[in-house]
Amino acid sequence: MVRKRASGSTALAATAITIGAAAFAGVAALASLSVYVARRVIIPVKTRREDIRILGCTESTVLLSKTLDTLLPGQYGLWFSEGAGHAKVGAVTDTGPNWVQRELLGIDHGDLSTATRGSIAGWFYLDPEELGIAHRDVLIETRLGPAPAWLIPAAKKSGRWLIGVHGRGVRRQECLRAVDVARRCGYTSLLVSYRNDTDAPHSADGRYGLGDTEWPDVDAALEYAIANGATEVVLMGWSMGGAISLQVATRSSHADILRGIILESPVVNWAETINFQTDAQHAPRIVSAGARHLISAPWARSLTGQEESIDLARLDFVARADELTLPILLMHSADDGYVPVDASRALALARPDIVTFDEFTVARHAKLWNYDADRFNEDIGGWLSRLP
């Protein structure tokens, strides 16, 4: 009898150990996944993910695999060969069960005929010279060193400036799409770079701050504009550039010169964006919560590689809506696919007195000009003309 009781106790103990080990393994897996997500959010992207297949091309068309991006109406950039090549594509001319044929408007560089994979991007223009407008290469003195920028003067000398702030993982070329309408409205455009975006100096940790650390670089551009004749400044930010612009507007000592903010597919609340992107990967919501905690916690910097933790609450402008005072033009697509539109809707509802909100559909993330340039330009031109 004693032997049987000992055997039963041993079995129970073994079962408990097995369950405990499994639970520990599960917790460890979730913790590791949280670290992975946190690092993915803040580490700059080195190469674009080439998620479409290039099936062939002629002098005037290109054949691509069918995806939500390749089916988009409008005109886009087509990156290929791991970023070594770039082409411009236009309207969809034909479709099949698993392919899309589009106009090939031109090849900027690279050999498209040998390419097999690529990605569709909002980048359309790669250089100001493509706009046929005079420009100057200038350097903005930031805390980390000189950051290159493009200065594109208004048609007539003016104290009105627009500072363009690009999004996460891209460069100032993204902002070229707004130059034409800004210039027609009498604005000089200053398209800037900021830390860790390839063009500008890198921070010691080489990590994004999601707007919490990049804003001083754009504030330095604001100082440059003032020193060079700006009397009224509008900030325009794409995606994470929107988060940066909102930080400048609420933290800069030069905010009195700002007259408004234009936000295109902006990150208004990073916590919601991280949740959305984690959900899209079918990961448990606890992973998103863990990633957000790791990004924010000073003790976790050894895991994430951050020099400074990020104050995500300071980046939530739905919660901070009452602190905003400047007129805002907010444009966002309902099916963005990367930055959820919910926070933009919430900000527009919270501050209808200052927010002009135009919600697109179909256009996806940071491609509103590409999808409908006329509507994009009318939104911005009309809003700029109504500014005090």
Could you tell me which residue, 15 or 64, shows the higher pLDDT? 64
**pLDDT surpasses 70 at 193:** yes
| Distant-in-sequence, close-in-space partners of 104: CB < 8 Å, separation ≥ 6 | 57, 58, 59, 60, 61, 62, 87, 88, 89, 90, 112
**pLDDT surpasses 70 at 24:** no
Could you tell me which residue, 388 or 322, shows the higher pLDDT? 322
128-386 and 52-121 share a CATH fold: no
Let me know: does 195 contact 228? Beta carbons within 8 Å: no
Q: How far is CA 335 from each of CA 339, 365, 371, rounded to the nearest angstrom?
A: 9, 8, 13
Residue extents of the structural domains in the chain: 52-121, 128-386
pLDDT tens figures, 373-385: 999 999 999 999 9
Helix or strand holding residue 106 (H, E): strand 99-109
pLDDT tens figures, 139-157: 999 999 999 999 999 988 8
Residue 94: which of 62, 133, 132 has the closest Cα?
62
Could you tell me which residue, 46 or 334, shows the higher pLDDT? 334
Which CATH code fits 128-386? 3.40.50.1820
Q: How far is the C-alpha of 95 from the C-alpha of 99, rounded, in Å? A: 6
φ/ψ of 228, rounded to 5, equals: -110, 25
User: 52-121: which CATH topology?
Assistant: Thrombin, subunit H (2.40.10)
**pLDDT surpasses 50 at 241:** yes
Residue 179: which of 221, 144, 127 has the closest Cα?
127
Could you tell me which residue, 214 or 29, shows the higher pLDDT? 214
Average pLDDT (304-308) is 94
pLDDT tens figures, 349-361: 999 999 999 999 9
